[in-house]
Structure 1
Amino acid sequence: MTQYMFGWGWILWLGFIFLMFSSLGNWNYAYRAHRKVDGSSFKDALSILKERYATGELTRTQYLEMKSDIASD
């Protein structure tokens, strides 16, 4: 057991820790990238506003007013 503590065994542990962190980072990056490409889980305010106008929930004046409010932000 002392051979792993004082010999070259610590390099194996550092490699294992590095591998775990890099795998976690890669998984996190891939998860965020796929959410952006999918598009169904994220909608911006303008696309929601366009949908509401298209379905008839909003009048033209309401739509234009809300659109200018969004653009000013």
Structure 2
Amino acid sequence: MQHAYWNDWYFGWGWFLWLGFVILMFSSVGNWGYTYRAHRRFGGTSRSDAINILDSRYARGDISRDEYALMKSEIGASGSAATRVGDA
């Protein structure tokens, strides 16, 4: 009589299914790691960098309050064509 634990999942072709599952898990983790690093490297940091530069220029006194408000609204407008500088 065969024990229920030692069935075809371990000694037959069932190991092939488990091997495929392990490969799938490793590839999923690898894909997540790659996309995480790529998005951190090339992700949307330009808007926050632009805000930081604008804040530092305003703090130094290079631009007035009106210029600061205008530039900040243009940065926050998600780049719509109606609010870009020079589209008048």
TM-score range, shorter chain: 0.5 to 0.7
Task: Specify the alignment match of 1:39 in structure 2.
Answer: 46
Any unmatched runs of 5+ in structure 1?
Answer: 58-73
**Which one has the largest radius of gyration?**
2
Give the 4+ runs in structure 1 shifted more than 4 A. Answer: none
Identity in percent: 12
Q: Is 1:21 equivalent to 2:25 in the alignment?
A: no
Deviation at 1:44, TM superposition (A): 7.7
* Higher RCO (CA 8 Å, separation ≥ 6 residues): 1
TM-score normalised per structure 2: 0.45
Q: Which has the higher helix share?
A: 1
Supply the distance in 2 between the matched residues of 1:22 and 1:32 (Cα, whole angstroms).
Answer: 15
TM-score by length of 1: 0.52
Displacement after TM superposition at 1:11 (Å): 1.1
Q: What's the counterpart of residue 71 of structure 1?
A: none
1:54 maps to amino acid: D
What is the identity, as a one-letter code, of the residue corresponding to 1:22? G
| Number of corresponding residues | 52
RMSD between superposed Cα atoms in Å:
2.5
